Structure 1
Amino acid sequence: MSTQIPGPPQDAAGVLVIGSVTMDVTTFSSRLPRPGETFLGNAFTLVLGGKGANQAVAAGRAGAPVRFVGCVGDDLFAPLVRQALTDADVDVSHLREVSGQTGVAHIRVDASGENDIVMVPLANAEITTEQIDAAFAEFTPTSRVLLTQLEIPFARTMHAIRRAHDAGLTVVLDPAPAHDLDESIWPLVDVVTPNETEASLLTGIEVDSRETAVRAGQWFVDRGVGQALVTMAAAGSVLVDADGVQDVPAHPVEVVDTTAAGDAFAGYLAASLAGGDELPAAIDRAAAAGAVAVTRRGASPSIPRADEVAATLAATAQGDSAQR
């Protein structure tokens, strides 16, 4: 299987993240309320969130130089968001303040660790092509990977992907939240990382097994994507490209909260590719990061540090050796 990703020289090790940022309002309860029901929970958090910001934090904790491009409002949440990103060593020089409210996500988590999310974009809708172009002008020479998602207007995402493709950056797309896309996007994407739900919505193939995940991955490849990585939580992932299929096992853990697990995965994947790892090694590291994230509550606070991910990889390797 071909696992080489094209891109700038190895000394260009930065990750450019263009995407959403929110304040996450998260409640925890034994179960989710039924429609019309008021149900008492047992905990509450207010932390940095948004798929773009979470992935930027993850890439930073993985060790990559990270530059984030997005928008916040001029409300009370804006300085909290900016400080949280700065504390994670994310460059926020292209995080623009606009009039209005910062994006908000309302997350509910039950005792099994499953969640549902309502994301209100607000300021995230104000990102502009001029803002994106300014970031590319400054950061392209020192970046290797563009990481982006679908929580900002799609026209802006498409513009960023075209700019990155033309500049020779590796384009990693986390297609979440999934919705109908212009098919001209796919030949510009080097790696796409849908989970089983997103893969089902985008391809029309109900992904509920390895076989259907492979079929969905092939759907992306047939449309021009370099590599399609379909993730299936505890069932692991399948990597599909023009040369075949590779299975990627999951790291077994006790699930507490799945919020931001996919973001931890995407950020570590991008950082590892930017650092020069080949795709299989980058995926394994990303999977370990996602596994650690689900053992903790919250979005950005659950994203692990590089040493924690390294310890998880070492423990998994030791367990594999013991079983031989």
Structure 2
Amino acid sequence: MKKIIVIGSSNIDMVVRTSHLPAPGETILGGEFFMNQGGKGANQAVAVKRLGGNLIFVAKLGNDILGQQSVDYFKKEGIDTKYITLDENSASGVALISVDDHAENSIVVASGANMLLNEQDVDKVVEEMCEGDILLMQLEIPIQTVEYAARRAFEKGVKVVLNPAPARSLPKELLRYLFMITPNRIEAEMLTGIKIVNDADAERVAKEISAMGVQNIIVTLGSKGCLVREGDTSYCVDAFKVEPVDTTAAGDTFNGALCVGLAEGMNLRQAAVMASKASSVAVTRMGAQSSIPHRKELDLNE
């Protein structure tokens, strides 16, 4: 099977359940608290591994108790930690997450060692890249590192998939290296300036991103599924109907599953259905990596 190389962030999530998300200046009492492994890169790596992908994960942690805890956790998940670096001079990344009764969340991230992931770290894994492999990245590491990794992968014939989260503007040069981009509604609006109210707006956004030079676009729309643009063709993939509990890591699960499907030779529609199913399972559970399903939990014939 083709390799899926995930380069990205790893955090410890500190999560509080609340009746509602606090307004500025508001203090809310009560709610369950727990700590969980998180970070968009690590979430996607765990999703790839649990769903049967041939994973390589590149990340940087602090050489502190949280970083060491994360390395131990990755080993228990069966993830090779060869390309995970512990930095002596920086703290591990931490995310503070509030989740309300409607499964909506609010997240603040202290990036720590994630922002030290650099070109030298990418160079260590370039020799692993082969034509047809997949590189999956997000934006919780320096944008210069993302662009450098995308260019090196593109030069080797690797399919570069970018999940442009958290939302930000992107260098034009980066876009030309991409095989696919997978923004959610907010991220797509930031990339194009087009507000998404309905399916027609989502298609306009996808066409606009396509005109920027990206051949394949998936705009994820939460409970409404996703809009896929493949070359000059657009189509929708419905979400699986579930009762959500926590949407944390749903997008990361979607992206990891999507890449596993593509690495196994599925077409883009089939891979998007598999990704939709995996994310629908994730939202029925609390936490980030704790919510990500294993392959045996996906019944794509439902």
- TM-score with structure 2 length normalisation? 0.97
CA distance in 2, matches of 1:85, 1:201: 33
User: What's the CA shift for 1:187?
Assistant: 1.8
1:242 aligns with 2:231: yes
Q: How many residues align?
A: 301
- Contact 2:130–2:156, Cα closer than 8 Å, also in 1: no
Partner of 1:107: 97
- Aligned residue number for residue 107 of structure 2: 117
- In structure 2, give the amino acid aligned to 1:28: R
Q: Determine the C-alpha separation between the residues in 1 that align with 2:260 and 2:12.
A: 24
Aligned-pair CA distance for 1:142: 8.7
Q: How far apart, CA to CA, are the structure 1 residues paired with 2:190 and 2:301?
A: 35
Tell me the residue number matched to 1:199: 188
Write the mapping of 1:307-322 to structure 2, written as runs, cut at 5 A. Answer: 307-309=296-298, 311=299, 313-315=300-302
Instruction: Specify which of 76, 92, 97 is matched with residue 65 of structure 2.
Output: 76
Question: Over residues 266-322 of structure 1, what are the superposed CA-to-partner deviations in whole Å (9 max), with x where a residue is unaligned?
Answer: 00111111122111111100000110000000000000111112x2x222xxxxxxx
1:168 is matched with 157
Give the aligned partner of residue 88 of structure 1. Answer: 77
CA contact (8 A) 1:17 1:52 kept: yes
**Comparing 155-164 and 41-50, the one that deviates more:** 41-50
Do the aligned residues in 2 keep the contact of 1:206 with 1:212 (CA within 8 Å)? yes
Query: Runs of 5+ in structure 2 lacking a partner?
Result: none
The answer to whether the 8 Å contact 2:12/2:93 transfers is: yes
- Root-mean-square deviation (Å): 1.2
Evaluate the alpha carbon distance shift between residue 240 and residue 143 of structure 1 in structure 2; reply closer, same or farther with a 3 A threshold. Answer: closer
- Distance, in Å, in 2 between the alignment partners of 1:45 and 1:278 is 38
The answer to whether the 8 Å contact 1:186/1:220 transfers is no
Structure 2 Cα separation of the partners of residues 229 and 249 of structure 1: 12
Q: Hey, what's the Cα distance between the residues in 2 that align with 1:90 and 1:264?
A: 16
- Kindly provide the CA deviation profile for residues 137-167 of structure 1, in whole angstroms up to 9, marking residues without a partner as x: 1x21497110001110000000111111111
Contact 2:118 2:142 in 1 (8 A): no
**Alignment pair present for 1:128 and 2:118:** yes
* Runs of 5+ consecutive residues of structure 1 not aligned to the other structure: 1-10, 316-324
Contact kept, 8 Å, 1:187 with 1:226, in 2: the verdict is no
Matches within 5 A, 1:11-30: 11=1, 13-30=2-19
- Describe the SS at the equivalent of 2:273: helix
Q: Distance in 2 between matches of 1:34 and 1:204?
A: 26
Task: Kindly provide the amino acid, as one letter, of the partner of residue 49 in structure 1.
Answer: G
**Once superposed, which parts of structure 1, at least 4 consecutive aligned residues long, lie more than 3 Å away?**
none
Q: What is the SS of the residue equivalent to 2:155?
A: helix
- Kindly state the Cα deviation for residue 188 of structure 1 after the two structures are TM-superposed: 1.1
Quote the sequence identity (%).
Answer: 39
**Structure-2 residue corresponding to 1:232:** 221
* Distance in 2 of aligned mates of 1:143 and 1:301: 30
Indicate the SS of the match to 1:140. coil
Structure 1 residue 40: deviation in Å?
1.8
Letter in 1 for 2:123: D
> Residue 21 of structure 2 aligns with which residue?
32
Matched, 1:268 2:263: no
Deviations 1:53-93 (A, max 9, x none): 00000000110121111100011101111122222222221
CA distance in 1, matches of 2:80, 2:156: 20
SS of 1:93 mapped into structure 2: coil
